[in-house]
Amino acid sequence: MINDKVLSIILGGGQGSRLYPLTESRSKPAVPIAGKYRLVDIPISNCINSNIKRMYVLTQFNSASLNKHIKNTYHFSFFSSAFVDVLAAEQTIHSDEWFQGTADAVRQSMHHFLQHDFEYALILSGDQLYQMDFNKMIEAHEQSGAEISIATQPVNAKDATSFGIMKTDENNVITSFIEKPDASLLPEWESNVSKAMQNSGRLYLASMGIYIFNKDLLVKLMKEPGTVDFGKEIIPNAIGKHKTVSYQFEGYWTDIGNIDSFFEANLGLTDSIPQFNLYDNNKRIYTNARILPTSKVSGTLLDKTVIAEGCLVHAAKIERSVIGIRSRIGSESTVINCYMMGNDFYESLEEIEEKKIKIFMGIGERCFIKNVILDKNCRIGDDVRINGGKQLKDVETDSYFVKDGIVVVKKDAVIPSKTIIQ
């Protein structure tokens, strides 16, 4: 069954500079997450679980790997109208420019959307981690008679200064909006929230960047010149002119905006009861169905560790880490607080036995790796010590990048044996 009322538009984001170097050779929605998924799998899976199966993903930077992932992953019945299509910025008779912002991306792609019948456009971000039943939001949108609905999350005073904050009336209608308010202004921006949220001090409604627009209104707003962004222009301008309603969501939600939030979101999956539940039968996260062998672990002490398929692990100890597909970790190595994205392929036994490769993919022997993100296909030699932490200054080299104490080893990078970064 497909929800024919709704067309989903997933915004792939811009250059993704805050997630650099993970976005050096791929678009932000294509960044690997949780050992086996891509960021774009999150909004797509939320849509599929909500029976919304007509989706466009809008992107313009490094879209080749995203195209490949979506082509290899999302196959629907030949007799179904379901699809997931990538729309990259393109030159047309009407426009020869890159997308200038989120609203401009929708504006430039509108001729594709209008080929389909729909009542509501569901506009999503491609770089957030959450599980949400969009049907509940759509029902609330219809019942309220809204023209625009905005998903909001109650946040505390500390976090409120980092978001766009909405002020609502007793009917959840948004009456005003402020972008990243100063702490001194916050007492004026409290809204009606549940008792549970009040008790935890979460009194301010932050925009989650998830919108429902009535089709006719979206078409009208996209014809207005000079507006390029939803959060900065379209939404603030609509408040007071068009009925704009808040839909409060109290579940887990995080914006994967920078290296620090990306790192913590991944390591959070190793908690005993993670806030983001990958084990819910009704809220599955879909991804490329790779045909991989089981993982093999030999002589390793594992604590709070997530290991994907096809790994060969001989480490001494792995603690609070996410180990991605096809990862290889050598004997006597210690891995703590790390996200290892894994490898795209295996090196053959012939290559290994004939020693044609000086440093194998993965982590070598007798290594100590802590507070590190290892991008795909990294080669870490033997006796390497990488000890991330606040003692490290921000720096970039050809093979690694340090940001806020987190060491990011770049995709395909080679770290020679006996290297020390600490």
CATH code, domain carrying 390: 2.160.10.10
Three-class secondary structure of residue 401 per DSSP: strand
Boundary of a domain, candidates 230, 253, 270: 270
C-alpha to C-alpha distances, 402 to 184, 239, 371, nearest whole angstrom = 34, 41, 10
Domain membership flag for residue 278: no
How many secondary structure helices (H) and strands (E) does the chain include? 10, 28
**What is residue 95's predicted lDDT score, i.e. its pLDDT?**
57
Domain membership flag for residue 279: no
Strands 174-179 and 164-168: antiparallel
Domain membership flag for residue 286: no
Domain membership flag for residue 280: no
| H or E, element range at 42 | helix 41-49
- Identify whether the C-beta of residue 137 lies closer than 8 Å to the C-beta of residue 46: no
**What is residue 106's predicted lDDT score, i.e. its pLDDT?**
85
Per-residue pLDDT tens digits for 100-153: 677 778 888 888 999 999 999 999 998 899 999 999 999 999 999 999 999 999
Alpha carbons 289 and 268: distance in angstroms, whole number = 24
- Identify whether the C-beta of residue 307 lies closer than 8 Å to the C-beta of residue 379: no
- Identify whether the C-beta of residue 400 lies closer than 8 Å to the C-beta of residue 379: no
Alpha carbons 250 and 246: distance in angstroms, whole number = 12
**Same-domain pairing of 155 and 231:** yes
Buried b (16+ CB within 10 A) or exposed e, 206-223: bbbbbbbbbbebbeebbe
**Same-domain pairing of 122 and 15:** yes
Peptide bond into 21 cis (omega under 30): yes
CA atoms within 13 A on the CB side of 255: 18
Phi and psi of 388, rounded to 5°? -70, 160
Question: DSSP code of 326?
Answer: T
Strand partners, 85: 56
- Identify whether the C-beta of residue 350 lies closer than 8 Å to the C-beta of residue 383: no
**Same-domain pairing of 240 and 308:** no
**Same-domain pairing of 142 and 19:** yes
**What is residue 293's predicted lDDT score, i.e. its pLDDT?**
97
**Same-domain pairing of 214 and 312:** no
**What is residue 352's predicted lDDT score, i.e. its pLDDT?**
73
- Identify whether the C-beta of residue 400 lies closer than 8 Å to the C-beta of residue 412: no
Domain membership flag for residue 285: no
**Same-domain pairing of 131 and 16:** yes
Three-class secondary structure of residue 21 per DSSP: coil
For 215, the domain range is: 6-270
Domain membership flag for residue 290: no
**What is residue 402's predicted lDDT score, i.e. its pLDDT?**
97
**Same-domain pairing of 232 and 336:** no
**What is residue 14's predicted lDDT score, i.e. its pLDDT?**
64
Number of structural domains (the chain) is 2
Alpha carbons 136 and 285: distance in angstroms, whole number = 19
**Same-domain pairing of 88 and 213:** yes
Domain membership flag for residue 287: no
**Same-domain pairing of 118 and 234:** yes
Alpha carbons 338 and 261: distance in angstroms, whole number = 14
**Same-domain pairing of 125 and 14:** yes
Name the pTM for this structure: 0.93
**Same-domain pairing of 234 and 310:** no
Taking alpha carbons only, the member of 377, 373, 376, 371 closest to residue 422 is: 371
Alpha carbons 108 and 119: distance in angstroms, whole number = 19
Boundary of a domain, candidates 224, 252, 270: 270
**Same-domain pairing of 216 and 304:** no
CATH assignment at residue 213: 3.90.550.10
Three-class secondary structure of residue 47 per DSSP: helix
Taking alpha carbons only, the member of 58, 55, 57 closest to residue 82 is: 55
Alpha carbons 198 and 176: distance in angstroms, whole number = 21
State both tokens at 128.
């957030």
Helices (H), 254-337: 259-267
**What is residue 1's predicted lDDT score, i.e. its pLDDT?**
65
Amino acid, single-letter form, for residue 316: A
Helices (H), 165-300: 195-199, 215-222, 235-238, 259-267
Q: With a cut of 50, which residues of the chain have pLDDT below it?
A: none
Domain membership flag for residue 21: yes
C-alpha to C-alpha distances, 9 to 85, 106, 148, 207, 300, nearest whole angstrom = 10, 8, 15, 17, 44
